[in-house]
Every structure is written in C-alpha cells, then in structure tokens.
Amino acid sequence: MTLATREISYKPSAMKIGIIGCGKMATALIKGVIEAGVVGAGDVMGISRTEASRERFAKATGAGITANLEELVSHSDVLLLGTKPQDVYKTLSDCRFDGKGDKLLISVAAGVTLENLEKHTPAEVRVVRTMPNTPSLIGKGATGYCLGERCVPEDEKVVSALLDAVGLSSRVPEKLMNAVVGVSGSGPAYIYMIIEAMADGGVLCGLPREDALKLAAQTVSGAAEMVLQTGQHPAVLKDMVTSPGGTTITALAVLEEKNVRSAFIKAVGAACDKATELGKN
C-alpha cells in the first residue's frame, strides 16, 4: 500500500483528540496517552451516550466532555472511534465531517474494515483500524493496526505514539488483522487459563491457593518479559531452564504428550477464523 502524499500539519504533541464512545478501552487508551505526556488532558474531549459514562471518562482522564457530537468533531484533529461495531456507521453518519477539514479517524471497532470505514467517511478523513487487547487497561497492551489508503506518513507516527502509550503496537497488512485477533486480541484469555491451571497444579502439590496464584502469574509475567527484553527465541530461553534429566524436561514431556503446543496453534487459528466469519456479517 502506498500512503497518500499530501502534507498534514499537526504533530502528536499539538493535536486535539476527540473520543467517540467513552467505554473502558477508549478510556484506558486516552488515560495512558495523557499520563505518558503524548497530549495534555486539555486537548482531549469525549462524548458518550449517557451523562454517567461521560462523567466517568472525565474523572478517569481529566479530559473535557461534551454532549454535542458536532462540537467534538470540530474540536478534533484525531478522532478515536470507540463505539460498538453495530453502531459505527450510524455514528459516522451523525459526525457530519464535511467542511470540518482533515481528520484522522482511529477505529477500535472489531471487524469493521478499512474499506467500510472509508465508504462512510468523506475523502478528507483518513482512517486507521486497530485491534487492542484488554491489558491496555493497565498499560501492557498489544495492539495491531493497519492504515487506510488515504493515510499520510505522519499518521503512522501519531497512531504509534498513541498506541505505544498503553503497551506496544505493530503495523500489519489488513488481511492479517484477524490473525492479530487470534494472537493478541483473544490471547489474554489463553494466558489466564494457563495461570489458573498452573495455580491448580500448585494447590494439588500442597501450596496455598493465594501463593500458587501469585507465583504462577508472576512466572508468566517474568517469562514474557524475558522474551521481550532479550529478543531471544522462546525455544532458546526454554532450553536455558531445561537441564538433562531434570524437573523441567519431565514436565515438558507431559505437555508434549498432551499436544499442548498443537492445541494452542489450533486455538489461535480458530479465533482467527471466527473473526473472519464475524467480519462478514
């Protein structure tokens, strides 16, 4: 994909951001962005269907709020679309972009394609599709994103600055966005199952439940951080723990016998296939 060539004058540190739909994910994203100093709270405005939702957003982020969608669109250089997928097209119609200048629209709506986002917005609106995951709520997110045909090079800098404020991000071709769903979008649930199972095993061996759970969770967290910080292949790190005839290789032999590796590969594929199916509806 070749990005558009026209110049956009805004910079991440000077942009105005509008949040459409102040749910947990959108709130977490913008809270992280503000805390990281990417933008100031005074440069953010949010809108949601209910006053209670708007008030929660304002309390959590320190940002401004409005009940007027036209005001929010006019105020913003960047719009974060956090509505439910079934509400996206109605919301975009209500935005009335025409005559309000260039906008960057970042969607976190699962399954809504770039093509459909571009069909429902005028030509001056550049669109980005993202797939964040729930650890973004604590600043440990993993988000895949792809850029629409109208985007310019500066847009990617803005998008990565926003997403990296709540974890890490990776740009992928849109055809691979459902694979992102399978790996990182649904992935936290797989890991919660692993933590629960490891803790259960510890309890079976006599550990108190609280200790077993803390040890299992910290082990998963530490192992993941080793992969990220060292850049080494997981197989190399695994071998560092695995001594001849020891406890670890004995345990790994059981996991291989039970086809755990194959089950995870198939689980990611199943989630990817389901995301593809849902995107067609």
pLDDT digits (tens, 9 = 90+) for 49-98: 999 999 999 999 999 999 999 999 998 999 999 998 889 999 999 998 87
pLDDT at 170: 96
Got the DSSP string for 139-205? T-EEEEEEE-TT--HHHHHHHHHHHHTTEEEEE--GGGHHHHIIIIISHHHHHHHHHHHHHHHHHHT
- pLDDT tier for residue 230 given thresholds of 50, 70 and 90: very high
pLDDT at 40: 94
Helix then strand then coil, in percent of the chain rounded to 5, is 55, 15, 30
- pLDDT tier for residue 281 given thresholds of 50, 70 and 90: low
Question: What amino acid is encoded at 54 in this protein?
Answer: R
pTM: 0.88
pLDDT at 1: 47
Instruction: Report residue 105 as tokens.
Output: 């629209």
% of the chain exceeding 90 in pLDDT:
78
**Predicted confidence (pLDDT) at residue 8 exceeds the cutoff of 60:** no
pLDDT at 264: 97
**Predicted confidence (pLDDT) at residue 269 exceeds the cutoff of 90:** yes
Unique residue bearing structure tokens 């993993």 = 142
Q: Are 190 and 196 in contact (CB under 8 A)?
A: no
First to last CA, the chain: 26
d(CA 10, CA 278) in angstroms, rounded, equals: 36
Neighbouring C-alpha atoms within 13 Å toward the C-beta of 22: 29
What are the backbone angles phi and psi of residue 268, rounded to the nearest 5°?
-60, -45
**Predicted confidence (pLDDT) at residue 243 exceeds the cutoff of 50:** yes
- pLDDT tier for residue 2 given thresholds of 50, 70 and 90: very low
pLDDT at 279: 72
- pLDDT tier for residue 11 given thresholds of 50, 70 and 90: low
pLDDT at 102: 86
d(CA 115, CA 163) in angstroms, rounded, equals: 22
- pLDDT tier for residue 231 given thresholds of 50, 70 and 90: very high
Which is more confident, 2 or 275?
A: 275
- Greatest C-alpha distance within the chain: 71
Q: Which residues contact 102 (CB under 8 A, 6 or more apart)?
A: 8, 77, 124, 125, 126
Letter string b/e over residues 44-65, b meaning 16 or more CB atoms within 10 A of that residue's CB: bbbbbeeeebbebbbebbebbb
pLDDT digits (tens, 9 = 90+) for 95-141: 988 776 789 999 998 889 999 999 999 999 999 999 999 999 899 99
**Predicted confidence (pLDDT) at residue 3 exceeds the cutoff of 60:** no
Q: Mean pLDDT score of the chain, rounded to an integer? A: 91
d(CA 182, CA 97) in angstroms, rounded, equals: 34
Element (H, E) at 81: strand 78-81
